[in-house]
Amino acid sequence: MAPRPSEVTLAEPRLPASAPRAGWAMRLVASRGFQSIVAAIPGLRRIARADGEALFDLVAGFVHSQILSAVVELRLLHLLMDGPAEARDLAAHARLDTDRMTQLCDGAVALGLMRRRRDGRYAIARRGAALLGVPGLEGMIRHHAVLYRDLADPLALLRGGETELSAFWPYVFGAGAASNPETARRYSDLMAESQALVAEETLRRVDLSRAGIVLDIGGGTGAFLTALGQAHSAPELHLFDLPAVVPDARARFEAAGLGSRTRITAGSFRDDPLPGGADTITLIRVLYDHDDATVAALLRAAHDALPSGGRLVVSEPMTGGAAPNRSGDAYFAFYCMAMRTGRARSPERIATMLREAGFAEVDDHGTSRPFVTHVLSGKRV
């Protein structure tokens, strides 16, 4: 039996002889003796401790995430919103041993999700309450079980092995792969729950109040268009997505009182031409699901579907480019890798692709929450 990628024995790491070595300062920091000396010097002890704690957080990160997962699965934060509780009462609710529940709650206290009162009862902390206030966050935490199984062997993932996450998001392989209504609903529900913050940030960054017709490509059940329609009364709303999502999208628009302002066209941008007539096209969390060739073709199609003066808006989490960031480069990049077709990109890379597609005027509208989304737009002249 051939070894798995992570079981392959690697040779002692050696770079070409011409490669420059790490600077003297980094070689000094990497010295065990230097670390011992620094830890004993009062003026430098704080720096050594901060580095040590940061490294330990990286080592223990998976355990922390699993404590979070257990707290969410047991809905402990929801229970504590009704008031402080003793560990034995929480344990009875969860059908756990009281001692194990105490350990879980103490872990949640250490992570800032709960706080322990002087009387020994547990109460929700500010960070725990904030978690409940983020739409879709609990759903994503539950969903992470799939991603974690793929990351259990990170070298296999990096070397291009099969992933469970790619089966969870089959729509990225085309309309035929996502023809199952239950698959489409599972995807749409998860995305729609978290779309509120993305829509909020997008509409804060770019003004769509004077748009005539907004075509949202790959918009699922219409969460973004619903937010747009509720924020601005002028734009007509046009959704373009797979046939399986149409019934739920229509129900969402009707429930929001937007039925008379909306139009739905069923199709796949990978297989079908884009509908015409819109002066604004939006791509909300779409590009990072797909490889460069698919994205380039989509951007060209969007450019050709717009009239002169028309605008394309791209909104999704992005990497930091020359300055890598934790959300884009350490989370979304690996999530997209596990999808097998996706790729997180920097604003600079997306801007370049917009220009290559024909958009002469490209604006970076920035973000105040990079872990939610980053907004760019391109104008057809």
pLDDT in tens, the chain (381 residues): 445 555 555 556 666 666 666 677 777 777 777 777 777 787 777 777 888 888 889 999 999 999 999 999 999 999 999 999 999 999 999 999 999 999 999 999 999 999 999 999 999 999 999 999 988 899 899 989 999 999 999 999 999 988 988 887 665 555 444 455 565 566 566 677 778 889 999 999 999 999 999 999 999 899 999 999 999 999 999 999 999 889 999 999 999 999 999 999 999 999 999 999 999 999 999 999 999 999 999 999 999 999 999 999 999 999 999 999 999 999 999 999 998 888 999 999 999 999 999 999 999 999 999 999 999 999 999
Q: In the prediction, which pLDDT does 75 show? A: 97
Closest CA to 145 of 172, 127, 164, 173: 164
Q: Give me the CATH code for the 138-379 domain, please.
A: 3.40.50.150
The pTM (predicted TM-score) of the whole model is 0.85
Alpha-carbon distance 200 to 224, whole Å?
9
Number of C-beta neighbours around residue 116 at 10 A = 17
Residue 40: predicted pLDDT: 75
* CATH class assigned to 32-133: mainly alpha
Distances (CA, A) of 165 to 145, 173, 262, 330: 10, 13, 32, 17
Question: Which regions of the chain carry the CATH code 3.40.50.150?
Answer: 138-379
Check: CB of residue 128 under 8 Å from CB of residue 114.
Answer: yes
* Single-letter amino acid, residue 269: F
Q: What is the pLDDT of residue 182?
A: 62
Angle, helix 42-73 to helix 98-110, in steps of 10 degrees? 130
Beta carbons of 237 and 258 less than 8 angstroms apart: yes
Q: At residue 115, what are phi and psi to the nearest 5 degrees?
A: -135, 150
The whole-number pLDDT of residue 294 equals: 95
Non-local (6+) Cβ contacts of 106 within 8 A are 116
Confidence at residue 178, expressed as pLDDT on a 0 to 100 scale: 47
> If you write DSSP's letter for every residue of 203-246 in order, what string do you get?
HHHS--TT-SEEEEET-TTTHHHHHHHHH-SS-EEEEEE-GGGH
Tokens for 162, please give them. Answer: 């099969």
In angstroms, rounded to a whole number, what is the distance separating the alpha carbons of residues 154 and 149? Answer: 10
What pLDDT does residue 192 have? 72
Query: What pLDDT shows up at residue 214?
Result: 98
- Using DSSP's 3-state secondary structure scheme, residue 312 falls into strand
Radius of gyration, CA atoms only, the chain: 24
